[in-house]
Each structure stands twice: as structure tokens, then as C-alpha cells.
Amino acid sequence: MTARDYSLAELAEQLQLECVGDSSLRIVGLATLASAATGQLSFLANPRYQKELANTAASAVIVSPAMLPHCPVAALVSDNPYLSYAQATQLFKKQSEAVAGIADTAVVAASADIASSASIGANCVIGERVRIGEQVVIGPGSVIGDDVVIGPQGLLHANVTLYHGVSIGHSVILHSGVVIGADGFGFAPTQQGWQKIEQLGAVVIGDHVEIGANSCIDRGALNPTIIGNHVIIDNLVQCAHNVQIGDGTAIAGCTAIAGSTRIGSRCTIAGGVGIVGHISLADNVHITAHTLVTKSISQPGSYSSGTPMLETQQWRKAAARFAQLDAWIKKLSRFIKANN
């Protein structure tokens, strides 16, 4: 667990930004404008926080050229302060340094091929013929099924589960509780009950993917489930069998995507969304929170369903009227016709 400090000049160099003010200042961490203290670097990315700039106790602030005149302390000048802040977080992250090697308590199959720079945590279980790339870190308690491939620089936090045959690209982050490759929900009805359809497909995860805690990506029925490159998925998200997600798409928490649906590239799916099975979404589609997507979307744009939040008393009346809506509109239609 280490976090180092930097001079402002060093930060300017690392972030490739212009430094205005005392470049010898020591910076020990990052903070918001309102909560920053001496020795901390802050940033102003959203104009609504401009009023906090004047009073900040930060030692330095990442600002746009336009905001520079308003900055009362030292500054790092960026055309994109939010991105510069994102890059600065890399410099200040505190994380346990994983030690290369395999923990004594890990259980590793003899046929597994683990790069010497990889770190396999306590109580991990690694199956037959697994291949783990350079600098991969696998947290304690994770279970990696047979024939899994994990590309270089991957980070699996504690208690992740990968079923057999899952393939993970490079620089992928999987948070705790993630389950990849569980059986898709496939059954054929019979008189005696549900006949399980064994899920024979794999899961293929691209490069630079991050998947949040307790999210699930099911294996395909026959063909694989596919998550593209640079896809980011939040916590408690469900991707069913044979879903395909295009490059750069972002999916917020508690969203569920049903089987065989294809999501385009650079889509942004808000939280709590449901997307039914066997449909396609174009590239650059945005879905607002809690929407149910019931059909394919062929055009980029923003899509929604639901009703606005109201006080429950008012909502009850509107909801009751919703149930009568067809009857009222028919009545209106007849009345207009009769009186025109």
C-alpha cells in the first residue's frame, strides 16, 4: 500500500500540462475543490462548481485556459480538465502491490501455464490448461475454470469466478463477485418439466474491459457471448447468453440484457434498464434509466420509457387514468367527430 507525492512540476510533466505558479509545490493527493486541503491537487471540470474555485484550499487546481484567470492558487492548465484529473488519479492510487508468484494456499492445476510476473492470490483455484498472461493479478479466493485464458495486465479482484473456457483479453479489470461463463438460461418445455439445454458456447471478453462487482456474463448456448474492447460495465449487471456488446459501450448498474441481443458500439445504457432478447441496437444509442427496450433500434439517439415521478397521491390518480386511457381517447375521438 503506497502512494507517493510529487512536485507540481513533476505532475505537469507526467500529465503533459502547462504549470502556472510555484512548480516546486509538493502534492500529496487529489481532492474536490470543496474538500481539498493544503498539499492537494483539485480540478474544475464542470462550470457549476466554478464558485468553489475562489475559496478552495487546494494547493493547485487543474483548470481550462478560460478558468485560469479565476484560479486563486497554482494551476495546471488543460484543454480537458476532467481527462487530466482522470489521468492524475493513476498517479495517486493506493493499491496493495501484488507480489509476483503463486500464493502457498492457491491450488493450481499442473497443466496451467502462468506467467512468471503474474500474481495468484491466497486460496485461488486455477483449473487445467489455464493460461495466465504477464503481470496479471488474481485476488484471493478467485476460481478460474479449466481452459480459461487471461491476457496480460489483467486484474481480477477477490472472489471472482470464471467458468471453463472463458477467454479474457488484455488489461481487463473484473471486480469481486463477478461470474463469467455460467450457463445461459436455456430450457425446452416438456410434459415432465424443463429439459435443460446444456450451454456449449464460450464467453469472449475483449481488451480494456472493466466489469463491476457481482455482475454476470453467461456463456453462449452454441456460439459465444461476446463483449467488445473498451466496454465498461457497472455492478450487478446481467448479460445473458449470446449477447454481443460493441466496442466502447458503457452499461450502468442493475441493467439486464436478455439472450442473443446485440448492442452496438459506443452506446451508453443507464442503470436499471432492461433490454429484451433477440433484438439489435445501433451504434451510439443512449438508453435512459429504467427504460425497457422492447424492440430493435436502428437509429442513433436517446430512447426512454416509464412515467415521471410524482407524489404518490397524484400518481395514483394518473395511474388510474392510464388504465382507462384507451376508453377516454375513443370517447374523445367520437365526441370530436360528432361535434365537428
Pick out residues in 227-246 that bind a copy of itself (CB under 8 A): 229-230, 232, 234-236, 238, 240
**Is there binding between residue 280 and a copy of itself (CB under 8 A)?**
no
- Pick from 274, 280, 283, 284 the residue near a copy of itself by CB under 8 A: 274
241 is catalytic: yes
Q: Considering the rule CB under 8 A, would residue 10 count as an interface residue with a copy of itself?
A: no
Within 113-142, which residues bind a copy of itself (CB under 8 A)? 121-123, 125, 127-129, 139-141
Which residue lies nearer to a copy of itself by CB, 23 or 87?
Answer: 87
Binding residue (CB under 8 A) for a copy of itself from 14, 16, 38, 105: 105
Asked if 282 is part of the footprint of a copy of itself (rule: CB under 8 A), the reply reads no
Question: Cβ distance 211 to 217 under 8 Å?
Answer: yes
Contact status, residue 31 vs residue 40, Cβ threshold 8 Å: yes
Identify the bridge partners of residue 125 per DSSP, sorted by sequence position: 107, 143
Please report whether residue 170 would count as binding a copy of itself according to CB under 8 A: no
Q: Which of 10, 49, 68, 92 binds a copy of itself (CB under 8 A)?
A: 92
Catalytic residue of the set 157, 170, 241, 290: 241
* Of 144, 186, 185, the residue nearest 163 (C-alpha): 144
| One-letter-per-residue 3-state SS of 23-75 | CCCEECEECCCCCCCCCEEEECCCHHHHHHHCCCCCCEEEECCCCHHHCCCEE
d(CA 225, CA 155): 21
Smaller CB separation from a copy of itself, 31 or 57: 31
Q: What is the dihedral of CA 285, 288, 293, 298, to 10 degrees?
A: -20
Q: First and final CA of the chain: distance in angstroms?
A: 79
What part of residues 13-42 is at the interface with a copy of itself (CB under 8 A)?
29-32, 35
Q: Of the ranges 18-26, 53-61, 63-71, 316-324, which one interacts with a copy of itself (CB under 8 A)?
A: 316-324
Nearest-angstrom CA–CA distance, 15 and 30: 14
* Residue 218 binding a copy of itself, by CB under 8 A: yes
Residue type, 222: L
Answer for which of 10, 52, 183, 283 binds a copy of itself (CB under 8 A) is 183
**Which residue in the set 147, 167, 226, 244 belongs to the binding site for a copy of itself (CB under 8 A)?**
147
Q: Which residues are catalytic?
A: 241
